[in-house]
């Protein structure tokens, strides 16, 4: 493959989409050598085909706010690749959502879902709707309007959305209700459902649990231990919450969490059940501020307007949003002795940050590997729905753990370099690519 030419064509075809170009470039640079060593991929133009989403649906979402004013938002669903299973991926409601955001996330999702070992293709959707400050009735009206359009394009064997930033159990409930009303079917078209109506145990915790299982595997490979390690994470949403729960259970010392308003440092550690439960409570308000945490717990201090990456730590985990850790942050973390950086948000680090971390031989896990536990557990929810059964928490957790260990093994298999350093992004991208690429070849020139 001619990387330069492919990137130049991609830039020309996708003007004003820096996130998509960033995600694509990272993958292309890491699979180049592998693709060139296996000529069948060029022969079938797999790379060029993977760079074009199979379908992008873009639609208008109108709704009436509590004051009776009509609001207009944009809705999206990017159906990126269906080679190994129905499109699968979350819905994000956040003011930063654009077609670019959706395309990068759907592209990442295809590789991530392939890594899970489960039969799921890649998709992503969402809206620029901002849940901040909206009443429950407004959120419900928005979700109903959004689903009225989206339902034309999804189904349990075609495309199965779930949550992401701004979309939790409440929003999935409103959307599921509307889907059921319009289609007259109670099926597993959405994951992240409530337990009483088709949801899976452990799904709310799964992204964070999976990331910590992945981290444990990284530590084990480096002959190191999680217990007592000083950890800083960004965010206080669903993903940060699950991460904090598992870190506490395994004896790590979580000292910092963050929000868009600044960060919280708590030298007593954020491991007490009431502290972690309060993260979830704060998130549920959708007010996007972490400051109240310091008002509630005496040992916690709020640092306004600063990034959490200035806190000295052994382990840093991004649990908020894309590009939240940049090159400057990476260099400060390195200076302060960081050993492991785990992307739990999708593309949490900028390309400059990843390069700096790898140059300093910091062990770095990309989101598509480390955060795959969320979608993997969604895959387990789909299986339970299709078979009309429900597994126990222990059963789901054991499967999740096994999946994360498997992803880690695959990263090591394809990412281990001569000196022993593990290039996790390379390993994840190659392992994810192989399954999708080979399925595309087997299925002929379909997409």
For the annotated catalytic residues, the residue numbers are 124
Q: Which stretch binds ligand 2IT (CB under 6 A): 23-31, 86-94, 214-222, 348-356?
A: 86-94
- String of b and e for 96-106 (b: at least 16 CB within 10 Å)? ebbbbbbbbbb
Q: Which is nearer to ligand 2IT, 191 or 253 (CB)?
A: 191
User: Among 83-91, 137-145, 282-290, 328-336, which window interacts with ligand 2IT (CB under 6 A)?
Assistant: 83-91
- Per-residue binding string, ligand 2IT, 145-184, x by CB under 6 A, is -----------------x-x--------------------
Q: How far is the CB of 86 from ligand 2IT (least distance, A)?
A: 11
Secondary structure E strands in 246-331: 253-259, 262-266, 300-304, 315-318
Nearest distance from residue 321's CB to ligand 2IT, in Å?
Answer: 11
Q: What is the smallest separation between the CB atom of 381 and ligand 2IT, expressed in angstroms?
A: 8
**Does residue 31 contact residue 37 with C-beta atoms inside 8 Å?**
no
Which of these segments, 38-46, 68-76, 84-92, 279-287, binds ligand 2IT (CB under 6 A)?
84-92
200 is a contact residue toward ligand 2IT (CB under 6 A): no
Comparison of 119 and 262: residue with beta carbon closer to ligand 2IT = 119
Looking at the Cβ atoms of 157 and 417, the one nearer to ligand 2IT is 157
Q: Which residue, 108 or 314, is less far from ligand 2IT as judged by CB?
A: 108
Residue 280: half-sphere exposure toward Cβ, Cα within 13 Å? 15
Torsion angles phi and psi, residue 216, rounded to 5: -60, -40
Closest CA to 27 of 341, 321, 324, 436: 436
Three-state secondary-structure class, residue 88? strand
Query: Is residue 88 at the binding interface for ligand 2IT, with CB under 6 A as the rule?
Result: yes
Tokens of 293: 């945490």
For the CB of residue 362, give the shortest distance to ligand 2IT in the complex, in Å: 23
> How near is the Cβ of 212 to ligand 2IT at its closest, in Å?
16
Smallest gap from Cβ 190 to ligand 2IT, in A, equals 9
- Cβ 378 to ligand 2IT shortest distance, Å: 3
80 lies in the site for ligand 2IT, by CB under 6 A? no
Which span (26-34, 88-96, 168-176, 261-269) binds ligand 2IT, by CB under 6 A? 88-96
Task: Name which of residues 348 to 377 contact ligand 2IT (CB under 6 A).
Answer: 374-375
Beta strand 253-259 pairing with 340-343: unpaired
How far, in whole angstroms, is CA 234 from its chain's centroid?
14
The 8-class DSSP code of residue 68 comes to: S
Contacts with ligand 2IT, 89-128, as mask; x by CB under 6 A: xx--------------------------------------
Residue span binding ligand 2IT (CB under 6 A) among the ranges 62-70, 85-93, 131-139, 222-230: 85-93
Neighbours of 220 (CB within 10 A): 13
**Residues contacting ligand 2IT: total by CB under 6 A:** 10
Closest CA to 270 of 304, 307, 311: 311
> Is residue 378 at the binding interface for ligand 2IT, with CB under 6 A as the rule?
yes
8-state DSSP, 197: G
Among 114, 191, 318, 384, contact with ligand 2IT (rule: CB under 6 A): 191
What is the rounded end-to-end Cα distance, in angstroms, of the chain? 19
Q: Shortest Cβ contact with ligand 2IT: which residue?
A: 90
Long-range contacts of 70-76 (CB under 8 A, 24+ apart): 71/142, 73/127, 73/128, 73/129, 73/142, 73/146, 74/127, 74/128, 75/125, 75/126, 75/127, 75/146, 75/149, 75/150, 76/102, 76/124, 76/125, 76/126, 76/127
Q: Which is nearer to ligand 2IT, 138 or 164 (CB)?
A: 164
Shortest gap between Cβ of 308 and ligand 2IT (angstroms)?
A: 21
Beta carbons of 130 and 93 less than 8 angstroms apart:
yes
Q: How far is CA 187 from the centre of its chain?
A: 24
Instruction: Return residues touching ligand 2IT (CB under 6 A).
Output: 88-90, 162, 164, 191, 346, 374-375, 378
């Amino acid at each position: 493959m001619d990387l330069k030419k492919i990137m130049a064509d991609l830039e020309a075809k996708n003007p004003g989409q820096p996130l998509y170009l960033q995600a694509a470039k990272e993958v292309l640079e890491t699979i180049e050598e592998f693709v060139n060593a296996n000529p069948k991929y060029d022969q079938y133009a797999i790379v060029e085909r993977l760079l074009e989403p199979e379908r992008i649906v873009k639609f208008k979402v109108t709704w009436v706010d509590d004051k009776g004013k009509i609001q207009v938002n944009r809705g999206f669903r990017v159906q990126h690749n269906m080679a190994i299973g129905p499109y699968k991926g979350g819905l994000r409601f956040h003011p930063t959502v654009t077609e670019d955001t959706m395309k990068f996330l759907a592209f990442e999702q295809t590789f991530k879902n392939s890594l899970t070992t489960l039969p799921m293709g890649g998709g992503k959707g969402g809206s620029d709707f901002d849940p901040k400050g909206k009443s429950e009735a407004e959120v419900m009206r928005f979700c109903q309007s959004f689903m009225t359009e989206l339902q034309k394009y999804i189904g349990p064997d075609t495309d199965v959305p779930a949550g992401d930033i701004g979309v939790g159990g409440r929003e999935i409930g409103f959307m599921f209700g509307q889907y059921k009303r319009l289609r007259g079917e109670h099926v597993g078209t959405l994951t992240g459902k409530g337990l009483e109506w088709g949801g899976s145990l452990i799904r709310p915790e799964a992204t964070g649990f999976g990331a910590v299982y992945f981290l444990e595997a990284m530590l084990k490979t480096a002959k190191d231990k999680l217990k007592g390690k000083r950890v800083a994470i960004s965010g206080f949403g669903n993903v940060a919450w699950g991460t904090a729960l598992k870190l506490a259970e395994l004896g790590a010392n979580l000292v910092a969490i963050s929000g868009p308003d600044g960060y919280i440092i708590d030298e007593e550690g954020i491991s007490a059940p009431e502290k972690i439960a309060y993260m979830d409570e704060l998130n549920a308000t959708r007010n996007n501020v972490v400051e109240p945490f310091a008002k509630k717990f005496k040992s916690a201090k709020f640092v306004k307007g600063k990034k959490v990456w200035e806190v000295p730590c052994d382990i840093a985990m991004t649990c908020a949003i894309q590009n939240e850790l940049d090159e400057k942050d990476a260099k400060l973390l390195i200076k302060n002795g960081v050993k492991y950086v785990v992307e739990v948000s999708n593309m949490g680090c900028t390309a400059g940050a990843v390069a700096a971390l790898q140059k300093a031989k910091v062990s770095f896990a990309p989101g598509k590997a480390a955060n795959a536990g969320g979608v993997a557990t969604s895959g387990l929810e789909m299986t339970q729905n299709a078979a009309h059964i429900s597994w126990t928490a222990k059963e789901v957790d054991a499967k999740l753990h096994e999946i994360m260990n498997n992803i880690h093994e695959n990263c090591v298999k394809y990412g281990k370099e001569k000196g022993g350093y593990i290039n996790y992004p390379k390993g994840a991208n190659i392992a994810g690519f192989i399954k999708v690429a080979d399925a595309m070849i087997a299925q002929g020139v379909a997409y």
